[in-house]
Structure 1
Amino acid sequence: MSSPNKGEDEMQIAETSGNSVRVSMYKLSYSVGVAENKNAKFRNTMEDVHTYVENFASRLDWGYFGVFDGHAGNQASKWCGANLHTDIERHLLEDESKDVREVLNASFVRADEHINTHLQGNSGCTAAVGILRWELPDNLPSELIDLEQHKRMLYTANVGDTRIVLFRNGHSVRLTYDHKASDILEMQRVESAGGLIMKSRVNGMLAVTRSLGDKFFDSLVVGNPFTTSVEITTTDQFLIIACDGLWDVIDDQEACEMIRDMTDANEAAKKLVRYALENGTTDNVTAMVIMFDNSL
């Protein structure tokens, strides 16, 4: 399934910088900005990792966006930042008719198993991933296909408390679920698997109930993500993907209101990180902002 070309073709340019990959063919319908800070006042190491891929899966105007918040080391978050999108892409292209949410679930589970089996140490990470792609409406006769009939779909998956928030028509819409040991549904799941919740932590130690890695918690802390799908329309202005270093000190709507009048995604991400640091967060902070260009 290909995406529509919404601008003039340019020479193809491939660039790699850190964990970002850019293949520029034309003007994208979105822009990505990222800001991060170790928060040296409270943290000795940086365990957050982020990745985004423009024209994901070599499809025009598709996008992959991910933020991974490590704990007990950065091995898990670094592995996810470097590898998770490759696994998702491979299985996504094997059968493009398959529900993307199923692909995301399977890739998260494989990542969890790989980290626990092959990586040294006992690290884990929360994860929030979004995939933006163009699709044709279901059951549309092939002879009637027109580029204007494509719809832009966003698929998300998360484990833990890294969060994705969509700003739609002036209102924040949370697309993720905070998997915390204080959550009654997650508490019941952990206890039915033989674990204990003490002081809002799994076995008194881990605050999140779903993650990638954390081999010591095995069947108690699982890698199956919460997934969503939503069509992106002209009422949608931007996405925020950020770790709990931001959400510990600001709610969804307030974060969206803070950057709603900004047009530069990088500056918007920087503003969110600065706010978190100035308002007492004690964690690493990473914020990714994806702004939609609805004028194309």
Structure 2
Amino acid sequence: MQRNITESPASSLTKFEDEDLDDYSATLKAGTETMNQFESSDDDSSEEELEEGNNSLIRDDSVQKSSGFSIGFAEDKNKKYRRSMEDSHSFFYNFGNVLGSGWFAIFDGHAGKSTAEHCGLYLHENFQKNLKESPDIPIPELLNKTFIQTDKQLSEKKGLFSGATAIVAYIRNEIKNDKKSRVLYTANAGDSRAVLCRDGVAVRLSYDHKGSDNQEVKRIMEAGGFVMNNRVNGVLAVTRSLGDISMKEWVIGSPYTMETVLKPTDSMLILACDGLWDVCSDQTAIDLIKDESDPQEASSKLLNYALQNMSTDNLSILCIKFDKDFLVRN
């Protein structure tokens, strides 16, 4: 069951001249990060130790200026509690060769890292292909299609037993009521979360799919499953995810989607796995970073807060700082 909250209907994509794209070298990709750039099994017994604190980003002022946002990222395996890193993430400036567009995603793996890795490598490609083939379909519908499509790809991979929660965000320029606007689309399956800083107040743009949610429990029971101790069939704590093929009858991949027209007071977006949110409220997170001008500093501050407050999970945190003057300049 998909739930959509829409502040305004989807509209047409702002067109840019080809020479503008040439000025910025077409696809200006800041980075696509995954824990390993190869296919792996879900057997972590032979996994090499991962570097901790891999918080570096490509920093290019011209790229950030042309996109209208800048990105900070911080991660930590949390070796005190976890023997391996199962998270993955991806982000792109000027996504799809369109100035001002951006893609951001975090995938929190469980029972292995292969599902999260696959999503980090291919979910954005699936979305870009769907967007190119069906530009007139509302973005929330395309995100839903992309999640289901990626879930199907995972179901066809032999020997895959892992799963991953997902939180993705896509930003672009649109014309609404004869006025250019910045529109942010978010989609999630599971308990990874997106939180927007709006004039210093936390605004959640995602929905936690957990066994403690009455609507999710009802859906699972109607599908023939059960929830015990807030776990699906007594096993899985999240009620929606990508992968988890053996439980797909109950643990579906359909995302919660949301559309938000950004305002000048929207300064930063946080995407993070539950390793942060288990020990930090939405508003506490915003209070920690609302005065930060550098999204890298913001991400690192949230990471350190989670570690100091005894998070027991892998940690992956993306902070996206919005340039409020971008539309004025463009």
With the length of structure 1 as denominator, give the TM-score of the two structures: 0.91
Identity %: 42
SS in structure 2 of the partner of residue 118 of structure 1: coil
SS in structure 2 of the partner of residue 150 of structure 1: strand
Partner of 1:118: 157
Q: 89-98 or 199-208: which moved more? A: 89-98
1:132-281 superposed matches below 5 A: 132-137=171-176, 149-281=179-311
Higher strand share: 1
Question: What is the alpha-carbon distance in structure 2 between the residues aligned to residue 122 and residue 90 of structure 1?
Answer: 27
Q: Measured at CA, do residues 269 and 294 of structure 1 come closer, stay the same or move farther in structure 2, by a change above 3 Å?
A: same
- Does the 8 Å contact 2:196/2:204 carry over to 1? yes
SS in structure 2 of the partner of residue 108 of structure 1: helix
Partner of 1:12: 25
Partner of 2:67: 28
- Does the 8 Å contact 1:12/1:25 carry over to 2? no
SS in structure 2 of the partner of residue 216 of structure 1: helix
Shift of 1:9: 8.2
Partner of 1:143: none
- Does the 8 Å contact 2:31/2:92 carry over to 1? no
- Does the 8 Å contact 2:231/2:238 carry over to 1? yes
Shift of 1:269: 0.3
Q: Which amino acid is 1:27 matched to?
A: S
Question: What is the alpha-carbon distance in structure 1 between the residues aligned to residue 30 and residue 94 of structure 2?
Answer: 13
- Does the 8 Å contact 1:158/1:227 carry over to 2? yes
With the length of structure 2 as denominator, give the TM-score of the two structures: 0.82
- Does the 8 Å contact 2:101/2:170 carry over to 1? yes
Q: Deviations over 1:93-152 (max 9, x none)?
A: 2222210000000000011111122253200000000000001126x5xxxxxxxx3111
Unaligned stretches of 5+ residues in structure 1? 141-148
Q: 20-29 or 159-168: which moved more? A: 20-29
Q: Which amino acid is 1:170 matched to?
A: G
Unaligned stretches of 5+ residues in structure 2? 1-12, 34-56
Shift of 1:295: 2.9
- Does the 8 Å contact 1:28/1:61 carry over to 2? yes
Question: What is the alpha-carbon distance in structure 2 between the residues aligned to residue 287 and residue 137 of structure 1?
Answer: 31
Q: Which amino acid is 1:70 matched to?
A: G
- Does the 8 Å contact 1:10/1:24 carry over to 2? no
Question: What is the alpha-carbon distance in structure 1 between the residues aligned to residue 201 and residue 303 of structure 2?
Answer: 21
Alpha-carbon RMSD: 2.2
Q: Which amino acid is 2:171 matched to?
A: L
> Would you say how many aligned residue pairs link Structure 1 and Structure 2?
286
- Does the 8 Å contact 1:4/1:134 carry over to 2? no
Partner of 2:146: 107
Shift of 1:223: 0.4
Q: Deviations over 1:6-59 (max 9, x none)?
A: x99845275564439999495331111100000000000000111001101110
- Does the 8 Å contact 1:3/1:62 carry over to 2? no
SS in structure 2 of the partner of residue 268 of structure 1: helix
Q: Measured at CA, do residues 135 and 17 of structure 1 come closer, stay the same or move farther in structure 2, by a change above 3 Å?
A: closer
- Does the 8 Å contact 1:9/1:25 carry over to 2? no
- Does the 8 Å contact 2:268/2:319 carry over to 1? yes
Q: Measured at CA, do residues 169 and 111 of structure 1 come closer, stay the same or move farther in structure 2, by a change above 3 Å?
A: same
Shift of 1:233: 1.4
- Does the 8 Å contact 1:3/1:133 carry over to 2? no
Q: Deviations over 1:58-91 (max 9, x none)?
A: 1001000000000010000000000000000111
SS in structure 2 of the partner of residue 152 of structure 1: strand
2:169 to 126, 130, 145: 130
Q: Deviations over 1:176-229 (max 9, x none)?
A: 000001111101111110111111100111000000000110210000000000
- Does the 8 Å contact 1:25/1:60 carry over to 2? no
